[in-house]
Amino acid sequence: MLCLLVTGGWLGVIAADATAAPAPAKSTEPPVTECFESREGYTTVTRVENAVPQYGYPNVKCSNRTSKVWWYGDPYDGTIPMGDMPVLAADDPTRGDFANAVVKPREPHLMYFNMDPEKHCAACHDGQTVPFPKSNKPRELGMHQDIVEDSLQLQHGRGAIWCLDCHNATDRNSLKDRQGAKVSFNQPQKLCGSCHGQVYANWRMGIHGKRIGSWKTGGKKRWWVCTECHNPHTVQKARFDPIKPEAAPELPRGMKNADHERTEHGGN
């Protein structure tokens, strides 16, 4: 399954069986304009008409069936520079290949972060309204059950980690890595990579996760960051939320079925 996730891979077609679902009837309904890219609810995109004016393309097209983005007119829409991408070793073969690396920022997608448009999480976590925690030990919380149902049973790390291994105790608008360095919500790869070094190395090289854009070394590419696919609070029960597959594409005109796909290559 993972082999489908290489550069430019299509996440949505993992289990596509050419005959499983009928192609959707041509619809006269207006196009879906709110859809998601990978993790539902946390990667929402709004279709904008004429986002690529020279061709008249929208930024994205959304599937009417799954509400998933299935076509990009502008793959860099809404992206920002990824920022520094720490190398793991001085002889890293991909060193220097990231000048044009871009990502979609995560902050606009976080509900609690945007409750107060200026202070963000610190609207409550200012040390007064909600006191800074005295210890990093797991305890029952009277808040955020919509994000973490049971804080004593956090579904990440099999009991070895807790909220304050990732969240900054006194600056809640940022995360912190394993060495205690501040990490922006827009660069979760630095947090995740501080514990999952091997996956991070693979991700940088385009072996894990997903990138789209130019294939050229140093060409402009968009990387999907870790939390666009993984919910950090539930990975233990669901490493990744699979996306419903789209229906098989319509057959070319004049072709009655796809039986030829069932014979081996060359028909022998």
243 touching ligand HEC, by CB under 6 A: no
Which residue's CB is nearer to ligand HEC, number 19 or number 198? 198
**What are the tokens at 18?**
């050419």
190 and 174 Cβ atoms separated by less than 8 Å: no
Which residue's CB is nearer to ligand HEC, number 48 or number 164? 164
233 touching ligand HEC, by CB under 6 A: yes
C-alpha to C-alpha distances, 190 to 85, 112, 114, 127, nearest whole angstrom: 8, 21, 22, 26
CA distance linking residue 157 with residue 137, whole number of Å: 14
94 and 205 Cβ atoms separated by less than 8 Å: yes
The minimum distance between CB 114 and ligand HEC, in angstroms, equals: 7
72 touching ligand HEC, by CB under 6 A: no
CA distance linking residue 94 with residue 244, whole number of Å: 34
Which residue's CB is nearer to ligand HEC, number 52 or number 124? 124
Which residue's CB is nearer to ligand HEC, number 62 or number 82? 82
The minimum distance between CB 44 and ligand HEC, in angstroms, equals: 11
The minimum distance between CB 196 and ligand HEC, in angstroms, equals: 4
CA distance linking residue 20 with residue 266, whole number of Å: 24
- The residue within the footprint of ligand HEC, chosen from 98, 148, 245, 246 (CB under 6 A), is 148
Q: Which stretch binds ligand HEC (CB under 6 A): 60-68, 84-92, 234-242, 243-251?
A: 234-242
HEC letters along 204-251? HHCCCCCEEECCCCCCCEEECCHHHHCCCCCCCCCCCCCCCCCCCCCC
* List of E strands, 85-146: 101-103
Which residues of this protein are in contact with ligand HEC, per CB under 6 A?
Answer: 2, 5, 11, 38, 42, 106, 109-113, 115, 121, 123-125, 130, 133, 141-144, 147-148, 151, 154, 156-158, 160-167, 172, 175, 178, 185, 188-189, 191-196, 199-200, 203, 208-210, 224, 226-230, 232-233, 235, 239-240
